Amino acid sequence: MLAGKILGWTFGILLIVLMTSMFLTGNTLRAVLLLGAMLLLLPPVHTLLQNQAGVEVPALVRILGAVALIGAFGWSMASDKKTSIYFTPDIEAGHLMAWKNQSKSTV
């Protein structure tokens, strides 16, 4: 019981930090996925549901739901097109040239 609460708090806080960064960077859908996972994992939310609504959500359902939402978050991150400045052809060519020059000087 105590280990479950510690894990719930740990992953909940980690998801809060990640969710906040997603909101700040404008990734609303990803932040909402993390919000759902966070709500499933944080112990106070579970206690509130239990006390106020009388709803008992089994731990396995909460864990599987959080894993599914985090998986959807990961899938959305992996399927996103590369938008960083480092993926432009000019920057890539510059990095390749620097790497070739570095490897020539070490030989």
Q: What is the pLDDT of residue 78?
A: 84
Asked whether residue 107 carries a pLDDT value surpassing 60, the answer given is no
Report pTM: 0.70
Side-chain half-sphere exposure of 76, counting CA atoms within 13 A: 15
Tens of pLDDT, residues 47-86: 888 888 888 888 899 999 999 999 999 998 888 776 666 6
Please state the domain extents for the chain. 2-81
Q: Could you tell me which residue, 51 or 106, shows the higher pLDDT?
A: 51
Q: What pLDDT shows up at residue 83?
A: 61
For residue range 2-35, list pLDDT tens digits in order: 888 898 889 989 999 999 999 998 889 999 999 9
Q: What is the DSSP string of 47-85?
A: HHIIIII-----HHHHHHHHHHHHHHHHHHHHTSPP-SG
- pLDDT reported for residue 72: 95
